[in-house]
Chain A
């Protein structure tokens, strides 16, 4: 089976390469038959990669430990779901997953449901096949998931216990659908340029692809944050780790692209920006894959060093040069229509938005590369801590959120005095956001500014939604597309609320309790009843029973765990959590003494709940934005 899988990858490389050559020659010489043959090669590549992936799944489920990858990430005792998800537990499988998803999406694109011009189809598929060929080559040469073990193993090493969590089953594929999906708008961007077709049509064509990919990437990031919160047991959801940041970077540039594309489609400028942003997004998706899976960047959850880095850097450079060349040759396509736009207009706001997202992406990228830069140029490795991101990323993010609150008050091209008066509502929201916390006793500058910012944006979003509802009542017709955008914006506001609440008002304490003793935090009283011990085949399990009381009322029991996993010979904690919209009670079981004394870290994390709700709303908004026939002009 492993031989079948490996052969399928080799063949997939050959047919993908054939597809690239076929399309390119067909275009330059005008052989129609060749283009058809290349199209079949694209389909064959999808079939071959699927075969390889199914082989790997079969080997994983069968626990065939003669295959090194299966040996490293599964064991006999591992439940089938986790054995299946071990597909993307390591570098080799993750890269295969990338290729698999890309080949399926490419197949979808090759069906040409949009009745696309032949030239465009050929160029776009050539680009996609080129990306496929790269991944197939890497899998065949440096990162082969089907490599055999050097020795005989009767048992596998098993999955890292931290990955035995349902969110880790779905997080990597979700992110990878985003990465692979964002390759499609990029491939079509090149195709429209090469075919000399207007970029406005490109945007209409790729908008659904970009939105779906963007939503998947965003959902994946949120799920990753949720996993960190539930499984890593430090009470946070975002550590500004290079691996986390690297997935956020293309999401930010993709978000900028989606906004920029609106302007390009309707106002016929920012076309160059849109093209640049989608190119960057694609390259940054490659970069993110490389950061996560190569270990070149110092990170707590990156993988071991490998020669993979060279391939990725070379590939990114090739695409950057190629795209730059194509863009330069066809630079006339970026020409803007002459439009007047006042300084206070939606157009200008979108333009600045591009810069803001671009700046945020740049800051994160700098943070990732800084240790590498400093060791190369200063001879001494330095790293930056979280405060760097607080000082650079957060102000930019705050301005972005402010702009969100203003967008409804700004008109396209110019803003009438009447429209501008609408800005009074967000301004009122900001005032409320500042006054209320002060009245409640808040005296620090940053929380007050943050509440003011979010108050501004929240009022703006409510204003947007209210206008939508009024419009609906007047016209008696639902236009889902703009509502999608509003929902996404509402999601952003809720997410921001969660971030502010949990960043500024977190309470935590460390306690050591004997059975029967209690500890207090905020309005909560926690009683440590006792612990239980179970011996399981894969681990020794210790459960602490903790009763939770609030204002004297019994709320229930939570049971944080501390387990010794045999496969990694290590303790892993499972947190106890009681989540409500107002706050989460978060309990980490740190240590257990022989006499039953247990130490706990207790946290009260306010409003974390809203981060997940906001994230969910953003995905829902993206679904609505996809609604067909929704593209009616939204008059301001």
Chain B
């Protein structure tokens, strides 16, 4: 194999490595629990994190005029009120598993990024089978 080719391959791999490392640095977001989020307090205001939890029963409020959605999610460590501006997703309902990506605010409300609301169907099939 030609020496030039090998050098080229090394250059490509190096560039790839660079892209991956900077990419991971810039776009990796940590999952934290509601309890951890609240415990960190002011240190975490404005930092993008992901929180996963179940949508709390009867907490969903939707204002079609301003297209604002507020609800609470809960995990084992507590409840977290969230606010989201955007279309109301079909899958949002009581008990749905939600992953929200956004920032915690001093008001104690979690502000979800645009397109930062991910929902998973509560696995109805599994529940009914058990």
Residues from chain A with a CB closer than 8 A to the CB of B13 are: 355, 359
Most buried by A among B13, B19, B65, B120: B19
Are the CB atoms of B90 and A571 closer together than 8 Å?
Answer: yes
Tell me whether B93 and A570 are in contact (CB under 8 A). Answer: yes
| A362-B16, A570-B121 known; A383 vs B93 contact (CB < 8 Å) | no
A591 — which chain B residues lie within 8 A by C-beta?
62, 64, 87-88
B20 touches A363 (CB 8 A): yes
Given contacts A374-B28, A384-B27, A588-B87, contact A157 B124 (CB under 8 A): yes
Q: How many residues of A contact B (CB 8 A)?
A: 49
Contact status A391-B16, CB under 8 Å: no
For A374, what are the chain B residues with a Cβ–Cβ distance below 8 Å? 28
**Taking the complex as formed, is B12 at the interface, i.e. its CB lies under 8 A from any CB of chain A?**
yes
Contact with B5, one of A72, A348, A569 (Cβ below 8 angstroms): A348
Contact with B along A358-392 (1 / 0, CB 8 A): 01001100100010001000001111111110011
Q: Are A383 and B26 in contact (CB-based, < 8 A)?
A: no
Any B CB within 8 A of the CB of A37: no
Interface assignment of A154: CB less than 8 Å from any CB of chain B: no
Contacts of A352 in B (CB 8 A): 8-9, 12
Contact: A570 with B90, CB < 8 Å?
yes
A385 touches B101 (CB 8 A): yes
Residues of A within 8 A of B30 (CB): 380-382
Known: A385-B27, A590-B87. A363 touches B16 (CB 8 A): yes
Contact of A370 among B12, B28, B32, B121 (CB under 8 A): B28
Which positions 10-67 of chain B face chain A at CB distance < 8 Å? Answer: 12-13, 16, 19-20, 22-24, 26-32, 50, 62, 64-65, 67
Which of B86, B90, B126 is close to A304, meaning CB atoms less than 8 Å apart? B126
Report yes or no: B67 in contact with A510, Cβ–Cβ below 8 A. Answer: yes
Q: A233, A356, A384, A599: which contacts B24 (Cβ < 8 A)?
A: A384
In chain B, positions 95-130 with a C-beta closer than 8 Å to chain A are 101, 118-121, 123-126, 128-129
A392 touches B19 (CB 8 A): yes
Q: Is the C-beta of A396 less than 8 angstroms from some C-beta in chain B? A: yes
Contact for A388 among B8, B28, B87, B119, CB less than 8 A: B28
A81 located at the interface, meaning its Cβ lies under 8 Å from any Cβ of chain B in the complex: no
In the complex, the answer to whether A599 meets B125 with C-beta atoms within 8 Å is no
A 314-347 to B, binary, CB cutoff 8 A, 1 in contact else 0: 0000000000000000000000100001010000
Most buried by A among B62, B88, B90, B125: B90
Of A391, A512, A573, A601, which one neighbours B90 at CB under 8 angstroms? A573
Contact of B28 among A68, A351, A382, A590 (CB under 8 A): A382
Q: How far is the CA of A216 from the CA of B125 in the complex (A)?
A: 31
- Is A633's CB within 8 Å of the partner chain B? no
Q: With A and B bound together, what is the CA distance between A68 and B126 in angstroms? A: 12
In the complex, which residues of chain B have a beta carbon less than 8 angstroms from the beta carbon of A518?
Answer: none
Beta-carbon contact of A385 and B64 below 8 Å: no
Given A381-B30, A392-B20, CB of A593 within 8 Å of CB of B64: yes
Given known contacts A510-B87, A572-B90, A597-B64, A356 and B12 CB-to-CB distance under 8 angstroms: yes
Q: Shortest beta-carbon distance, B27 to chain A, in Å?
A: 4
Instruction: Name the contact of B91 in the complex, choosing from A343, A382, A396, A570 (C-beta under 8 A).
Output: A570
Establish whether residues B31 and A599, one from each chain, have CB atoms under 8 Å apart when the complex forms.
no
Residues of B within 8 A of A359 (CB): 12-13, 16
Cβ contact within 8 Å between A380 and B31 = yes
Interface string of A572-590 (1 = CB under 8 A from B): 1100000000000000101
For A356, what are the chain B residues with a Cβ–Cβ distance below 8 Å? 12
Residue A1 interfacial (CB < 8 Å): no
In the complex, residue of chain B having the shortest beta-carbon distance to the beta carbon of A599: B64
Let me know if B87 and A387 touch, CB within 8 A.
Answer: no
Q: How far is the CA of A341 from the CA of B5 in the complex (A)?
A: 10
CA distance A284 to B124 in the complex (A): 31
CB neighbors of B among A557-575 (8 A): 568-573
Closest residue of B by beta carbon distance from A157:
B125
Would A512 and B12 count as touching, CB distance under 8 A?
A: no
List the A residue with the shortest CB-CB distance to B5.
A351
Q: Which of A234-249 contact B (CB under 8 A)?
A: none
Interface string of A204-244 (1 = CB under 8 A from B): 00000000000000000000000000000100000000000
Interface: A300 (CB within 8 A)? yes
A395 within 8 A of B: yes
- Residues in B neighbouring A395, C-beta threshold 8 A: 19
In the assembled complex, the CB of A307 is this many whole angstroms from the nearest CB of chain B, namely: 15
Q: Are A304 and B64 in contact (CB under 8 A)?
A: no
Residues of chain A in range 69-90 having any CB-CB distance to chain B below 8 Å: 72
Min CB–CB distance A567 → chain B (angstroms): 9
Most chain B beta-carbon contacts within 10 A, residue among A336, A355, A386, A512? A355
Give bound CA distance, A384 to B30, whole Å. 8
Q: Which chain B residues border A381 with CB–CB below 8 Å?
A: 30-31
- Report the bound CA distance from A381 to B125 in whole Å: 27
A384 x B28 contact (CB < 8 A): yes
Instruction: Please name all residues of chain B whose beta carbon is closer than 8 Å to the beta carbon of A343 when the two chains form the complex.
Output: 2, 4-5
Chain B residues near A388: list those with CB within 8 A. 23-24, 26-28
Q: Which of A72, A385, A571, A593 has the most CB of B within 10 A?
A: A385
Bound complex: CA of A384 vs CA of B121, how far in Å?
A: 21
A512 touches B23 (CB 8 A): no
In the complex where A380-B31, A391-B22, A588-B87 touch, is A568 in contact with B124 (Cβ < 8 A)?
Answer: yes
Q: Which residues of A contact B90 (CB under 8 A)?
A: 233, 570-573
Q: Which residues of A lie under 8 Å from residue B128 when comparing CB positions?
A: 157
Which residues of B lie under 8 Å from residue A590 when comparing CB positions?
Answer: 67, 87-88
How many whole Å from B96's CB to the nearest CB in chain A?
9
The proximity string for A residues 496-523 relative to B, scoring 1 for CB distances below 8 Å and 0 otherwise, is: 0000000000000010100000000000
Inter-subunit contact B9/A391 (CB<8 Å): no
Residues of B within 8 A of A593 (CB): 64
Give the distance to chain B from A162, nearest Cβ to Cβ, in Å: 9
In the assembled complex, how far is the CB of residue A512 from the closest CB belonging to chain B, in whole angstroms? 5
Give the CA-CA distance A471 to B88 in the complex, in Å: 58
CB<8 Å pairs between A and B, sample of 6: A300-B118, A383-B50, A388-B28, A570-B90, A573-B90, A591-B88
List of 4 A-B pairs having minimum Cβ-Cβ separation, nearest first = A388-B27, A391-B23, A387-B27, A392-B19
Besides A382-B31, A384-B28, A385-B101, 15 more A-B contacts (Cβ < 8 Å) are A300-B118, A304-B123, A343-B5, A348-B8, A351-B5, A380-B32, A381-B31, A383-B29, A385-B29, A387-B27, A392-B20, A568-B124, A569-B93, A573-B90, A591-B62
> Which A residues are within 8 Å of any B CB, using their own CB?
68, 72, 150, 157, 233, 300, 304, 336, 341, 343, 348, 351-352, 355-356, 359, 362-363, 366, 370, 374, 380-388, 391-392, 395-396, 510, 512, 568-573, 588, 590-591, 593, 597, 599, 601
B-to-A contact residues, CB < 8 Å:
1-2, 4-5, 8-9, 12-13, 16, 19-20, 22-24, 26-32, 50, 62, 64-65, 67, 86-88, 90-91, 93, 101, 118-121, 123-126, 128-129
